[in-house]
Amino acid sequence: MKIVFMGTPEFAVPSLQMLLAEGYDVAAVVSQPDRPKGRKKVLTPTPVKEVAVEKGIPVLQPLKLRSPDSVEELAKLQPDLIVTAAYGQILPKAVLDLPRLGCINVHGSLLPEYRGGAPIQRSIMNGETVTGVTIMYMAEGLDTGDMISRVEVPITDEDTAGTMFEKLSVAGANLLRETLPELIAGRIEAMKQDDSLATYSPNLTRDDERIDWTRSSREIFNQVRGLVPWSGGFTLWQEEVFKVWACRISSSTSDAAPGKVLACDSNGIEVKTGDGSIILTQVQPAGKKAMDAAEFVRGGKMTKGTLFT
């Protein structure tokens, strides 16, 4: 049985590695094109491509999967099954119809909740305590296909988007290992999604990163965790971006205005929120590297009474 694997970031790597370790015939890997990375804009392969090249598997990197040339190239491979995980492009019907066993996707949420491009980040930002992975048949709609299997994974207060990506990528690979033999043997009874329960998780924008200090401490805490390690949250200090990479909820109370700094000491920077306060523990002033908030405080550039906007 011939499989084509489609994936791009680290999230997809454990699923590809599982297929190879279990001896499946991966005829080709499809990944997003190499992108410039870092200050020097070095053209960098995707994590999935790196694994494929290391294993000697042919790699396709079409700019547009829906182009006739891309579809024709895939058709020549005559795949029995296409497995996708965070590939990053919508599969056109011409591709969905190619494999006799269909196209399946490893999705980082408990569908039908959090359909879309940022399910893991938005699960954390919304304060969920449980998320998971769903393996589903792919359809023309956005994450609307019938569900094949799924597994729950708890979210703790110590988790960030980064740690949950790791946990869910491994959970997805394990679920794929359990599911594929049943699918190949024709013993799968897929279940339709209840569209009335569907929620959406659009890709993150700059607006998602800005901290609104009138929100509750828990909401801000969840927001920052959901944005780490990629962008972090930000506020403005002296009209410049001041990033927040880590914080914790404080039990103290104050009548100060939201955004006002209540304390600067070895514990970090305590800031008033809509219902209490939080303590910033890792920050990044404009033009500087990320650092412990206590280290920043020792520099003496911020004082009690400062107002973040």
Q: Residue 131 phi/psi, 5° resolution? A: -135, -150
CB 157 within 8 A of CB 124: no
**Average pLDDT, whole number, for the chain?**
96
The predicted structure's pLDDT at residue 38 = 82
pLDDT surpassing 90 at residue 120:
yes
Q: What is the pTM of this model?
A: 0.93
Q: What per-residue confidence (pLDDT) applies to 301?
A: 85
pLDDT in tens, 253-274: 899 999 999 999 999 999 999 9
Amino acid sitting at position 60: L
Give which of 133, 177, 173, 181 is closest to 15, Cα–Cα: 173
Please tell me the predicted confidence (pLDDT) of residue 173.
98
Asked whether 262 and 251 are in contact (CB, 8 A), the reply is no
H/E stretch holding 294: helix 293-298
Quick check: 212 and 218 in contact, CB under 8 A? no
Amino acid at residue number 17:
Q
**Model pLDDT for residues 148-203, shown as the tens digit of each residue:** 999 999 999 999 999 999 999 999 999 999 999 999 999 999 999 999 999 999 99
Q: At what angle do helices 47-54 and 13-21 cross, to 10 degrees?
A: 20
Do 215 and 308 form a contact (C-beta atoms < 8 A)? Answer: no
40 — pLDDT class (breaks 50, 70, 90):
confident
**Quick one: which of 225, 303, 294 has its CA closest to 261?**
303
Report the alpha-carbon distance of residue 247 to residue 264 in Å, rounded. 14
Per-residue DSSP letter, 74: H
Q: DSSP secondary-structure letter at 196?
A: G
Of the chain, the percentage scoring pLDDT greater than 90 comes to 95
